Amino acid sequence: MPTTQEEAAMIVGISQKYLPLERLKMLLIELDEQVGKKSENDSVQQSFAMFRELVEHASHALKTPDQPNPNSPTWLAAFSAIWVFHTFLILGNIASLFVTPFMAPWYLAFPACFAIVWTVCSSANCAITDWENTVRAKLGWKPIRSFVGHYYMKPIYKFLGKTNAAPEQSVQGA
C-alpha cells in the first residue's frame, strides 16, 4: 500500500528534526543508488526505492508557492559571498599549515598543524558547504559533496584529461 501524502509529510517532518530536507533527500537517493539498486534482496530494493520516492514526493509536496525567485540577485550574491569566504578560509588553512611551524614552538605548532590537516582532510560535514548547498537549492542548482573537489579538483582533472575523476556524490564535506 503506497504511503499517503500526510504520512510522507509526517515522516519527512520527523526526519527534518535531525537532517534538513535536502540533506535527507540526498542521503536517501545515495542509499538507493549504492545499496538498494545493487542489492539482490528484493525487500532491500523495494525499501530503498520506497524511501527515495517518499522523500522526493515529500520534497515536492512541501514546496510552497511563495519561495524566492531562483534567479534572485539576493541568492546569487549570497552564493558569491559564501564561495569567497569558503575560498579564503581554505587558503588561510593552507597558509597557516606552512607558517605555524615557524611562528610557534614545536609543541604548539605540531598539534596546530595536525588539527589543520585533520580538519581539511576529514570526511566530516562542512557547515559552509551545507550553507552553500542550501543557497544552491534556492537557485535550483545541484548540491555538491565537497567544495575543494567541486571547484578545484574537478576542473584540474578535466584540464588534464583524466576520465577517472570521482563523480559528484551527494554527501557534503569540506
Asked if residue 81 has pLDDT above 90, the reply is yes
- CA quadruple 105, 106, 110, 113: dihedral, nearest 10: 50
pLDDT in tens, 145-158: 888 888 888 888 88
Please tell me the predicted confidence (pLDDT) of residue 64. Answer: 46
User: What are the residues facing 146 on neighbouring strands?
Assistant: 173
Calculate mean pLDDT across residues 30-41.
84
**Mean pLDDT over residues 84-111, rounded?**
91
Q: For residue 102, name the pLDDT band (cuts at 50, 70, 90).
A: very high
| Whether 163 contacts 110, CB under 8 Å | no
Q: What is the pLDDT of residue 84?
A: 95
Interatomic CA distance for residues 149 and 170, integer angstroms = 12
DSSP secondary-structure letter at 173? Answer: B
**pLDDT higher than threshold 60 for residue 171:** no
H helices within 32-166, ranges in order?
Answer: 42-61, 73-103, 106-121, 127-139, 147-148, 154-160
pLDDT band for 80, please (50, 70, 90 cuts): very high
- Residues 64 and 75: beta-carbon distance below 8 Å: no
SS3 (DSSP) at 39? coil
pLDDT bin (cut points 50, 70, 90) of residue 86 is very high
More confident position, 98 or 125: 98
**Residue 68 pLDDT > 60, yes or no?**
no
Output phi, psi for 141, to 5 deg.
-95, 160
Q: Do the Cβ atoms of 70 and 138 come closer than 8 Å?
A: yes
* pLDDT for 87 beyond 90: yes
Give the Cα separation of 69 and 169 in Å (integer).
Answer: 26
pLDDT of residue 111: 92
